[in-house]
Amino acid sequence: METFGVRLHRAVRERGPLCVGIDPHASLLERWGLADDLDGLTRFTGTVVEALADRVAVFKPQSAFYERFGSRGVAVLESTIRQLREAGALVLLDVKRGDIGSTVAAYAAAYLDPASPLHVDAITASPYLGVGALAPMFDTAAAHGGGVFVLALTSNPEGRDVQHARTADGQTVAQTVIDAISQLNRGAEPLGSFGLVVGATIGDTGHDLSGVGGPLLAPGLGAQGATAADLRTVFGTALPSVLPTYSREVLGAGPTAPGLRAATDRVLAECRAALGVAAE
């Protein structure tokens, strides 16, 4: 069984360092000329899959935008996950789950166990009930070749109050999260399966990201204000581990497949240049 880190490393090498978020919120559906209903959701997602599934290394569907349509929306999400993976893409489901005990174990089973209809390659998780509380999630991921991206330094201004708070030993809360994930990745080659979420809009983090050993997901690029060039400031020497993420910058180029592909090619070229990664 290959680890998620191995599969991610290969996917980025073959398709390029890019994650495309799939966020079918109401304003974007309207921009595409679609109704904010189940049919609009289905048509929107289907167009993205048809246009990009065989071209992009990683997709990040935002679960909430499917859940808001109830069980039928979740069924669209299940189908989307299956189609993306059949096209050779990795799926990172943006769910930001975090809990304790049997509940976090159930979340892990829902998303990281191959027996689940919502099985994906990796998920996002919140560590603010304690990183250790996520252990069942890490264990399930490791058992089935999955990955977990843990929130560390996020772009939203409200996050700073918690993430930059100091613990009794003087470290920031964010640094304790960074250190815990670094330990999980010890010895993993060429890339660990446990990553961090670090916003591309936050500038110099003041934190050491160089020894994480796993992928660093960088949302906030494009419509949220950050550019690919900002990645150098945010990540410094950890730049080779960065997985840049664009959502509206790509999706806003729809509803045509050529428009989506052109936007994807443009942002991918910008990411390659910023990260110093040549096309193979």
Annotation says 60 is catalytic: no
Single-letter code of the amino acid located at 124:
T
Phi, psi of 218 (to 5 degrees): -120, 85
Pairing of strands 194-198, 19-22: unpaired
Catalytic residue from among 31, 85, 96, 272: 96
* Beta carbons of 207 and 234 less than 8 angstroms apart: no
Q: Which residues are catalytic?
A: 96
